[in-house]
Structure 1
Amino acid sequence: MIGLVYAGGKSIRFGKDKATYHVPGLPATNVQLAVEKLMPLCQQIIVCANETNRAHIIELVGQVPAVQIICDIPPYDHHGPLSAIIACTSQFSIVQDYLTLAVDYPYITKDTLAILARTSNSYIVTSQHKHYSLAHFSISNEQVTTWVDNNSDWRLRSFITNKCGCYPLVYRSSTEFSNLNYREVDLNEK
């Protein structure tokens, strides 16, 4: 299984790069936490960064064995998670099994990811939100690019449910599924 970490977002609402952000009280940056949680479940981990945070992400996790840092590839760049999926799948010539995790879920547990890894064609749902970036599916690069070229639909939701045929894996709402969209002001931050 290939782990795909979505780390290339612009983090506009958050106010600083989510991937390299270190949440107070947690032991590492968000990208380090994501890689560490996927390591026991995946043979290889692909971190899809952006041109701005790529160098910093290489410093943080680039030396970890089986981790590769990539960026979106033209002409499919700058379209969110589907751009990352295209860039990631372009690294392989055949259908692969992918376990995806966005860096803005720093509280997700290894146990939850292990259940997701064991549940093919699934994504996590709580009573409050559908977490399409927490998913497990099998796909090839040709299948992804054909989907985008034929549908012009860059929504992760459509891809996960309609193309990959993923089903909801239902969980109770909890802080584990908190998504870092906005950063509270940390008075200790310099």
Structure 2
Amino acid sequence: MIGVILAGGKSSRFGSHKSLYPLDGQPFYVHIYHAMIESGLERVVISSNKMLSQYFIDDIKMRGLNIEVIEDDIVYKECGPLSGIYAVMQAIPHEDYCVISVDTPFITSVALRYLVEMAGIHRKSAAIFYRDNDQYHRTIAVYRYELLPLIQQSLVTGKLALKEITQHNTTMIHVNRINSTPYWYENINTKEDLERVLKVRSGYYGTNNR
């Protein structure tokens, strides 16, 4: 299974490229990388756009990380997560792909390990992803290579939401199955989101250290 960090977005709501934003002294993408490695994923790639790819190549080399950078297909640039997944499937075919958006920097190895385990159990499911009571977390997911034709069709027709490829043959895992921090699946779209989660984290560890 390939660990895939999706980091090709514009981060317009965040105000700067959140994949590079420092959290506890390291960029978002590095936190996800370490969670992937700790979960047992041996090969990790980062899917990004042409503008950011060289930065990632240089930063990865400087940090001594084992991450391959895969650029979005120019035909489908700026087409959201689907274009990143498509590019990775094209570059590294016939695999399963553990896909995590770079704006989920609090992801834990516990959650990833369980996701991979469920993907192994639900072999007939083309997609396996988390959900909570309010929404589906389709960028904390495992996608099978068999979805490639459907992904390409969605890109060609401009139907870019991940729900387009998860209408059928999917397995959903409720986040409450994970015994981890209560914010591990939080999606960070704005700096206010980050401040809110950091405040929750401070209170969580403060309570659990008493």
TM-score with structure 1 length normalisation? 0.84
When Rg is computed on C-alpha atoms for both structures, the one with the higher figure is: 2
Structure 2 contact 33–44 (Cα < 8 Å) conserved: yes
Deviation of 1:175 (Å): 1.4
For structure 1, the 5+ residue unaligned runs are none
1:180 aligned partner, one-letter code: I
Corresponding position: 1:35 with 2:33: yes
CA distance in 2, matches of 1:81, 1:116: 19
Deviation of 1:3 (Å): 0.8
Deviation of 1:92 (Å): 2.6
Greater shift in the superposed pair: 130-139 or 36-45: 36-45
1:33 aligned partner, one-letter code: H
What is the match of residue 162 of structure 1? Answer: 167
- Structure 1 residues 153 and 109: alpha-carbon distance in aligned structure 2, compared to 1, 3 A threshold: same
Q: Which has the higher helix share?
A: 2
What is the match of residue 64 of structure 1? Answer: 65
Structure 1 contact 73–83 (Cα < 8 Å) conserved: yes
Deviation of 1:151 (Å): 5.1
What is the match of residue 86 of structure 1? Answer: 86
For structure 2, the 5+ residue unaligned runs are 120-126, 196-210
What is the match of residue 130 of structure 2? Answer: 124
1:156 aligned partner, one-letter code: L
Structure 1 contact 122–167 (Cα < 8 Å) conserved: yes
CA distance in 2, matches of 1:150, 1:49: 20
What is the match of residue 46 of structure 2? Answer: 47
Q: Give the match's secondary structure for 1:47.
A: strand
CA distance in 2, matches of 1:77, 1:84: 9
How many pairs align?
A: 180
Identical pairs, percent: 22
| Superposition RMSD in Å | 2.4
Indicate which of 133, 156, 159 corresponds to 2:139: 133
TM-score with structure 2 length normalisation? 0.76
